[in-house]
């Protein structure tokens, strides 16, 4: 099952990332007219460090303990699985019940079956970066994966597609300087938007436009669902509960009045 390591992987990785940066910037061009939350375009793949780690738990304002997670690594549990669960393993597509085209993308073993480690020349990745909207995955009208998500998947495949995990410890958590664009939206993008976009508003909840998100934040359903409070449906569906730092930081943004900052 385990495939051999490509000796040219470093060169291949550099070329692939370069290509993705170019493709990635055109994604954002194409998205200019979408009613998405502003300012996230500032994080376009110029700094790959920001792309592959969950920075939500890292305190950048004081002198925190060193991050335990390698900033150059993509972690399957935190960075990759949420993308597949929210965008691919949905009902009618690649969940276990539907298994469209015999492809199931709901856990590590199933996802690993569909890709070739160290090699971006495989069908799943090619479909993700496909230009033609009617051939690409996820198919239209589902939104295209973002450049950040695409880069994270590329990075993970080029690391050999390990079943790895890294969680920042809670004591590095800073809940004082949270903003929608830098803190909250990246978490939602990774764990929620695939199931809660304008074209796929599961349960009638659309988290991809500011006004809808704000309403969900201010009426308590956003926090109730991610905190697994009684009376709310626990989110993210099909995934483990968000780490406590992410929950605390979203709570802090909600308590500040859910500003569009
Ligand atoms: C795999 C798809 C999926 C993912 C991922 C997902 N959701 Fe949901 N969400 C749903 C579905 C389906 C419902 C409707 C559930 C129901 O009504 O039983 C729902 C309902 C909700 C609700 C309404 C809850 C209530 O009690 O009324 C909120 C709020 C919500 N989701 C927020 C989120 C957030 C925030 C995330 C990310 C942390 C997330 N969801 C991730 C599918 C998903």
The pLDDT assigned to 196 comes to 93
Is the model's pLDDT at 52 over the cut of 90?
no
Of the candidate ranges 7-11, 45-49, 88-92, 146-150, the one whose mean pLDDT is the lowest: 45-49
pLDDT tens digits along 137-171: 888 888 888 888 899 999 999 999 999 998 877 66
The pLDDT assigned to 239 comes to 86
For the chain, what percent of residues have pLDDT higher than 70?
72
Q: What is the mean pLDDT of the chain?
A: 78
The pLDDT assigned to 211 comes to 96
In the reported structure, the alpha carbon of residue 149 is separated from the centroid of ligand 1 by a whole-number distance in angstroms of 20
Is the model's pLDDT at 61 over the cut of 90?
no
Is the model's pLDDT at 64 over the cut of 80?
no
pLDDT tens digits along 234-255: 999 988 899 888 999 999 999 9
Q: Specify the ligand 1 atom closest to the Cα of 85.
A: 1
Ligand 1 pocket check: which of 226, 236, 242 to mutate, most ligand atoms within 8 Å of Cβ? 236
What residue spans define the domains of the chain?
Answer: 9-31+72-158, 175-255
Q: List, as one string, the DSSP characters of the chain.
A: -PPPPPTTHHHHHHHHHHHHHHHHHHHHHHTTTS-PPTTGGGGSTT-HHHHHS-GGG---SS-PPPPSS-TT---IIIIIHHHHHHHTSSTTTTSTTT-GGG---SSHHHHHHHS-TT-S-SHHHHHHH-SSTTTSSSPTTSPPPPHHHHHHHHHHHHTT---------GGG---SS--IIIIIHHHHHHHTTTTBSSS-BGGG---SSHHHHHHHHHTTHHHHHHTT-TTS--SSTTSPPPPHHHHHHHHHHHHTT----
In the reported structure, the alpha carbon of residue 205 is separated from the centroid of ligand 1 by a whole-number distance in angstroms of 7
pLDDT tens digits along 75-89: 999 999 999 988 888
In the reported structure, the alpha carbon of residue 116 is separated from the centroid of ligand 1 by a whole-number distance in angstroms of 31
Pocket of ligand 1 (CB under 6 A): 85-86, 90, 191-192, 194-196, 202-203, 205, 216, 221-222, 225-226, 232-233, 235-238, 242
In the reported structure, the alpha carbon of residue 126 is separated from the centroid of ligand 1 by a whole-number distance in angstroms of 29
* Average pLDDT of the segment spanning 5-26: 49
Q: Is pLDDT larger for residue 158 or for residue 30?
A: 158
**What does pTM read for this prediction?**
0.68
The pLDDT assigned to 99 comes to 80
Ligand 1 pocket check: which of 85, 196, 218 to mutate, most ligand atoms within 8 Å of Cβ? 196
pLDDT tens digits along 183-213: 999 899 889 998 898 888 999 999 999 999 9
């Amino acid at each position: 099952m385990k495939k051999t390591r490509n000796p040219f992987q470093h060169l291949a990785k550099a070329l692939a990332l370069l290509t993705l940066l170019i493709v990635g910037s055109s994604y954002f061009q194409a998205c200019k007219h979408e009613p998405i939350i502003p300012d996230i375009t500032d994080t376009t793949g110029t700094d790959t460090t920001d792309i592959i780690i969950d920075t939500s738990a890292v305190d950048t304002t004081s002198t925190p303990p060193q991050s335990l997670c390698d900033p150059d690594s993509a972690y399957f549990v935190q960075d990759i699985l949420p993308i597949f669960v929210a965008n691919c393993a949905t009902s009618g597509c690649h969940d276990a019940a539907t298994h469209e085209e015999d492809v199931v993308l709901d856990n590590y073993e199933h996802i690993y079956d569909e890709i070739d480690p160290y090699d971006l020349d495989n069908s799943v990745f090619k479909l993700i970066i496909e230009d033609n909207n009617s051939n690409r995955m996820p198919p239209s009208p589902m939104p295209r994966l973002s450049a950040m998500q695409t880069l994270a998947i590329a990075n993970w495949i080029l690391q050999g597609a390990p079943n790895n995990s890294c969680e920042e410890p809670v004591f590095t958590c800073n809940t004082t300087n949270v903003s929608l664009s830098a803190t909250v939206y990246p978490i939602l993008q990774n764990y929620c938007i695939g199931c809660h976009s304008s074209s796929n508003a599961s349960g009638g909840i659309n988290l991809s436009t500011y006004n809808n998100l704000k309403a969900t934040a201010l009426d308590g359903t956003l926090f109730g669902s991610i905190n697994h409070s009684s009376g709310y449906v626990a989110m993210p569906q099909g995934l483990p509960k968000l780490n406590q730092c992410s929950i605390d930081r979203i709570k802090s943004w909600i308590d500040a009045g859910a500003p569009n900052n």
